[in-house]
Amino acid sequence: MGKKIHNKPIELKYITNIDDLGTTNILYLPQSNTKNLLKILQKLQGKNILTVSDIRGFAEKKGMLQIYFVSQKPKLKINLDQAHKHKLKISLSLLRIADVIRGDAS
């Protein structure tokens, strides 16, 4: 890939088992992980990994950043309490364009 962020290389890795995760900063969970979502999020507790998904209700189920669409336009939903719990800072500019929720519905 060759791309970098803050002079750190970007590595894209596909895994089928959460135990194979290794060291990462961001984890994207696709729709196919819906049935195992809560188990996966529990395994990530305390690991300070930004979790991102397009699974419906992801932010309410202790995910951090949910992508969804309204009138074919992408929108973001951020669970600010989960981000803070994992010691992750979300920029003010991102918070301004996102729907911010607190806590969880589970």
Q: Judging by beta carbons within 10 Å of its beta carbon (0-12, 13-18, 19+), is residue 71 exposed, middle or buried?
A: exposed
Residues of the chain with pLDDT under 50: 106
Q: What pLDDT, on the 0 to 100 scale, is given for residue 51?
A: 94
Q: Does any domain span residue 69?
A: yes
Q: What pLDDT, on the 0 to 100 scale, is given for residue 58?
A: 94
Q: Does any domain span residue 9?
A: no
Q: What pLDDT, on the 0 to 100 scale, is given for residue 1?
A: 56
Task: Count how many domains the chain has.
Answer: 1
Q: What pLDDT, on the 0 to 100 scale, is given for residue 45?
A: 86
Q: Does any domain span residue 1?
A: no
Q: Does any domain span residue 5?
A: no
Q: What pLDDT, on the 0 to 100 scale, is given for residue 104?
A: 56
Whole-angstrom distance, CA of residue 90 vs CA of residue 98: 11
Encode burial over 2-39: b for 16+ CB neighbours within 10 A, e otherwise: eeeeeeeeeeeeeeeebeeeeeeeebebeeebeeebee
Q: What pLDDT, on the 0 to 100 scale, is given for residue 23?
A: 86
Q: Where are the alpha helices (DSSP H) in 17-66?
A: 37-43
